[in-house]
Chain A
Amino acid sequence: MIVADSAFTYTPGAADWVRILPELILLGAALIVLLADLATPAGRKGWLALIGLLGVAGSAIAAALLFANGDGQSAFFGMIAADKAALFADFVILLSVGLGLLFSPGYVERQGITQLGEYYALMLLAALGMMFMASATNLMIIFVGLEVLSLALYILSAYIMSRSRSREAGMKYFILSSFASGFLLYGMALTYGATGQTNLQAVRVFMAGNAFHSGTGFGPLLIAGLALMAVGFCFKVSAVPFQAWTPDVYVGAPTSVTAFMSVGTKVAAFLALARVFDVALLSVHATWMPVLWAVAVLTMIGGNIMAVTQRDVKRMLAYSSIANAGYMLIAVVTGTQDALAALLIYLAAYAAMNLGAFGVALAVERSDGTGATLDDFAGLARHRPALSAAMSIFLLSLAGVPPLVGFWGKFYVFQAAIIGGHLELAIIGVLTSVIGMFYYLRVVWAMYFQEPRAVGIPAVSTLSVEPPAPAAAPASASGGGAAVLVAEPAVVAAPAPQEAYQPPVLAPGAWLGLAFAVALTVVLGILPSGFVDLAIQAAHTILR
């Protein structure tokens, strides 16, 4: 084979390095953060986040330049793509890691996280792995990228070692995810055995040839490979029935990490999934489609129904991310060019609104990592009107309410499904979105129409299953009334006992991050045409 021969003589040139410039800049930033950590005194680790943010910004600029002027060829012997789809995904990943970094200072200190140099470096390296995986055009790079991002996220999940929930999250994620990686690798090995290629484009050419269509059709070897790869990918995007790890890991990990990984991992895994199933293996679409169809339906129904019963908002968001994976799977199942554009739109919309929602949950959370339940959100609007308004925007967007960006994500996915001949998936998607509406709006209702939770007496808060807690109502009503009049949290603290309710505090960076997420959610929702065009352009390149 020609490919086999040139593999022994190929030499990368300067053009190859230019095509992976965004990744190189991010890698450089991560290493600089590690070095700068040595020179930064203990109280000033926020500078490291700033260095990381500069790296993210530089990487985003490089990606923008490549998006506008790049030749869209793949680099390093067809290992990694610099096409518009990859660069679009890079943007979304950089957005999520950037917001994750903005949320971190303040929060990490409140949670008692030390070793911040390694923390910020690992965030950047995890994003690097996501970018590799999202741009990979070779099964090998998909796997190595996946391992880079997973390994960094295992460590980040377990970062608060003094807290058993965080240790449990890291351990659980590590063991289950390694197991799933094993499935994925086995599937890739069998696919390589069946096609003789790890390069996705070469696999596609091989599949399009008559090798499998002659005789008895294609071999069971390939089917086994497909099935095992599907298992691996479905685990990584937390699709039902491989979702069991998601809530525990999302709740146990530091919230700044959860916010980042809930989006970034999905972007990386869905891009890889789309490249493997919708590009390389499109000619056997009829074989894998029923399996992913069933997974998509199960994920939409299961994720939404399980989310309804949650009282912890972080846990609810974890199940909501499972449900959203179901909507994204619709796009992969449909597999047309419209559907891939819709997938990119959905991922970008999901990044803005989901990171924002986790950002608010992170602000409400107490320093021991608890306190993001519905009770803690009750009456939040009186103490923190801006925070509540932001949370409402994110949740309404997640629910798919029209003028916000989440609506467009759902709209284009369902539209692509209907055009692509999967009307039933669109109908199930719409129906389960209605379920979603309930649990998202319940938080909004708690923030605006419920009495604030009774002061920090645990006994009362555990009793107050039915809102509002009767015992708490009179005391906090007076405090709340004052807050409505003056809208000044300091006044609220005055009438209440000192150890009482503490309104959430936010570092300036987190405010900036939330403002950015709100701006994206609203502006892209009102004026979607620009970024929809970009996503459509990007989807063109993925199928080429």
Chain B
Amino acid sequence: MLLHQIAFYVLAAVAIASALGVISFRSAVYSMLSLIVNLMSLAFFFLMLQAIFIGTIQVLIYAGAVMVLFLFVVTMLAPDTESVGGRNPLRWQWGAGIGLGIILAGGLILAVVNGSLARDAHAVGADGLARQVALHGNVEAFGLALFHGFSFPFEITSVLLVIAVLGAVVLGRRILGREE
């Protein structure tokens, strides 16, 4: 149990540090790389929660495929304008943003520390989920839920993908036209 806790805190520190890195690095490539670290540590969180399938998918799709694509695009499109920024004309927003962010983080930490999290979590009915996983196995339980109770959100996500393809066609072709 102690090992489990140590692993959790180390992973949490890595996840937070890399998430901060994503928004604070000036170079887009560095931001990408720390996003990969962030997604990897999230994958480990899923593994610690025994969501083996989700953890694997997280590595394969997000940390793997999507991020490689991102890196390709960033390195291809902006080789010389590597660092963005310069003087920020809205400096006061930094202070306000950090202040409000601390308030939000404080509120969420309060929610966790208050102990209500543990009490609420008991009501969730995670027992039923654990029983299904024990009955069918991890991937099977996921697949059964996805194609039975949650088939409808799964299906309409395909509409989302159609729209994304249309967007790529429309916006991409138009930009090429402008360059000619």
Contacts and interface: CB of A to CB of B under 8 A. Distances in A.
Interface of A: 1-12, 27, 34, 75-77, 79-80, 115, 118-119, 121-122, 125, 128-129, 132, 138, 140-141, 144-145, 147-148, 151-152, 154-155, 158-159, 161-162, 190, 193-196, 206, 211, 215-216, 219-224, 227
Nearest to B152: A76
Given A4-B125, A193-B124, A148 B111 contact: no
14 contacts: A1-B125, A4-B129, A8-B144, A75-B152, A125-B163, A138-B153, A144-B156, A152-B166, A155-B167, A159-B170, A161-B178, A190-B111, A195-B120, A220-B114
Given A132-B156, A155-B163, A195-B124, 12 more contacts: A4-B125, A4-B132, A115-B173, A118-B166, A138-B153, A144-B160, A148-B156, A196-B124, A211-B123, A216-B116, A219-B111, A219-B120
A222 to B, nearest CB: 8
B144 A79 contact: no
A1 B175 contact: no
A193 B125 contact: no
Contacts of B178: 161-162
A217 to B, nearest CB: 10
Tell me the interface secondary structure of chain B in the complex: helix
A9 B148 contact: yes
A118 B170 contact: yes
A503 to B, nearest CB: 31
A500 B131 CA distance: 78
Interface string B75-114: 0000000000000000000000000000000011011001
Interface in B61-78: none
Question: Most chain-B CB neighbours within 10 Å: which of A8, A118, A125, A211?
Answer: A8
Given A151-B164, A155-B170, A80 B120 contact: no
A148 B152 contact: no
Contact of B163 (A4, A122, A193, A215): A122
A221 B162 contact: no
Contact of A196 (B117, B123, B162): B123
Question: Most chain-B CB neighbours within 10 Å: which of A3, A158, A221?
Answer: A221
Contacts, number: 141
Contacts of A193: 117, 120-121, 124
B151 A219 contact: no
Contact of A144 (B116, B141, B153, B175): B153
A527 B13 CA distance: 64
Contacts of A196: 120, 123-126
Interface in B156-180: 156-157, 159-160, 162-164, 166-167, 169-171, 173-175, 178
B152 A125 contact: no
Interface in B122-138: 123-129, 131-132, 136
Contacts of B174: 115, 161-162
9 closest A-B pairs by beta carbon, nearest first, are A7-B149, A219-B116, A1-B125, A4-B128, A196-B124, A76-B152, A161-B174, A220-B111, A155-B167
A125 B157 CA distance: 12
B25 interface: no
B152 A147 contact: no
B3 to A, nearest CB: 25
Contacts of A190: 111
B4 interface: no
A125 B148 contact: no
Contacts of A132: 156
Nearest to A196: B124
Contacts of B156: 132, 141, 144-145, 148
B152 A141 contact: yes
B140 to A, nearest CB: 9
Contacts of A144: 153, 156-157, 160
B146 to A, nearest CB: 10
A80 B152 CA distance: 9
Contacts of A140: 150, 153
Given A144-B157, A224-B107, A8 B148 contact: yes
A161 B175 CA distance: 7
A145 B108 CA distance: 27
A192 to B, nearest CB: 8
Contacts of A158: 171
Nearest to A222: B120
B116 A77 contact: no
A242 to B, nearest CB: 13
Contacts of B160: 144, 147-148, 151
